[in-house]
Amino acid sequence: MSFSISGTGSSLPREIVTNQRLGSFLDTSDEWIKSRTGIQERHVCTEETLRDLSVNAAIDALADAGIEAAQLDLIICSTITPDHFVPSLSCEVQKAIGALCPAFDINAACSGFLYALDIAEGYFKKKKDSKILIISADAMSKLVDWRDRSICVLFADGAGAVVLTQGNDLKAIKLTAKGDDQVIAANGPQGNSPFAVMEPYDPFVRMSGQEVYRFAVSSSVRDLANVLEMSNLQEGDIDIVLLHQANARILEAVSARMKIPQDKFPSNIAHCGNTSSASIPILLDELNRAGKLKPGMMLAMSAFGGGLTTGACILRWQGTNLSNHQ
């Protein structure tokens, strides 16, 4: 017994920032960004908070699942950019949607959605008929240094959500972590303790792009092969691979190495950029609303990011109210 995905939702900020607009204040170009990453534009918060995006995504996912917030047993949010440390993002959502259940946040950077699915699976073992809301949301525009062209052109803001109900659709899931504070790192608050030895404070995320690139391709290929083996499936059995939307070239490289055709790797990176842990559930919701997910399809998911963390899974798509009525 694991779960089924019964509803999906997502929310992006209204403001769209094109590559050309970035070129107006950075030494960069549409040509460089498009050819190196596949990104053409991204959504960036202006007046919206991460709570707003998360609540919108949650409401859409609950509506799709046909479930009232008061029926939820658990809310898990994955984020590295909450509006507040306390209350947690999940508690803010719980209050806004009128849920009554426990709620907590997790931090597994861009792999957060896969980590949340794994935690949820454990919860279903405890209580089979649970109803769980997962929201993966990040406002990376708060964490990037907008003077650093090597990072700020990549990241963006958004939230994706799923509602999980009793079912048997998760075929295999695998998480990894390899502690590393050099390849991707962002500091927490420094405070003003009169007792602390203060060091120069850098509030921005820093990343060694090429190292992450190599890590991303090799870990996704390894993790996807592992979850295929765990579920006794072959590459050819997979209908769609939802890979973390970090770089179109990473999608192409994983597709080539896995010998899974490129057309099975849908992508929204051109208009969403890298929304960290939100990227896979946003893409899932877009595909669901576009009628591209058919009941019975076998989906693979794979994510990688700061930590360093990775996660992958194989999941059968049963369909939500949206996909079953298209």
The catalytic site residues sit at 110, 244, 274
Toward ligand UT7, which CB reaches closer, 82 or 319? 82
Toward ligand UT7, which CB reaches closer, 123 or 146? 146
Toward ligand UT7, which CB reaches closer, 10 or 309? 309
- Nearest distance from residue 239's CB to ligand UT7, in Å? 24
Candidates 76-84, 124-132, 208-216, 265-273 — which segment interacts with ligand UT7 by CB under 6 A? 208-216
Q: Which residues of 212-238 are buried (b: 16+ CB within 10 A; e: fewer)?
A: beebbbebbbebbeebbeebebeeeeb
Can residue 213 be called a binding residue for ligand UT7 (CB under 6 A)?
A: yes
Can residue 149 be called a binding residue for ligand UT7 (CB under 6 A)?
A: yes
Which positions from 42 through 101 interact with ligand UT7, judged by CB under 6 A? none
- Nearest distance from residue 4's CB to ligand UT7, in Å? 28
Site string for ligand UT7, 296-315 (x = CB under 6 A): ---------x----------
Q: Are 316 and 230 in contact (CB under 8 A)?
A: no
Site string for ligand UT7, 10-29 (x = CB under 6 A): ------------------x-
Distances (CA, A) of 317 to 5, 18, 293: 7, 34, 7
Name the residue among 320, 324, 323 with its Cα closest to residue 65: 320
Question: Contact with ligand UT7 (CB under 6 A): which of 11, 274, 275, 310?
Answer: 274
Q: Give the position of tokens 């259940």.
A: 101
Site string for ligand UT7, 151-180 (x = CB under 6 A): --xx--------------------------
Name the residue among 156, 160, 159, 151 with its Cα closest to residue 184: 151
| Cα gap 189→307, rounded to integer Å | 18
DSSP state string for 236-305: GG-SEEEE--S-HHHHHHHHHHHT--GGGS---HHHH-B-GGGHHHHHHHHHHHTT---TT-EEEEEEEE
Instruction: Please state, as a whole number, how many other Cβ atoms lie within 10 Å of the Cβ of residue 296.
Output: 10
Binding stretches for ligand UT7 (CB under 6 A):
28, 32-33, 36-37, 110, 149-150, 153-154, 207, 209-210, 212-213, 216, 246-247, 274, 305
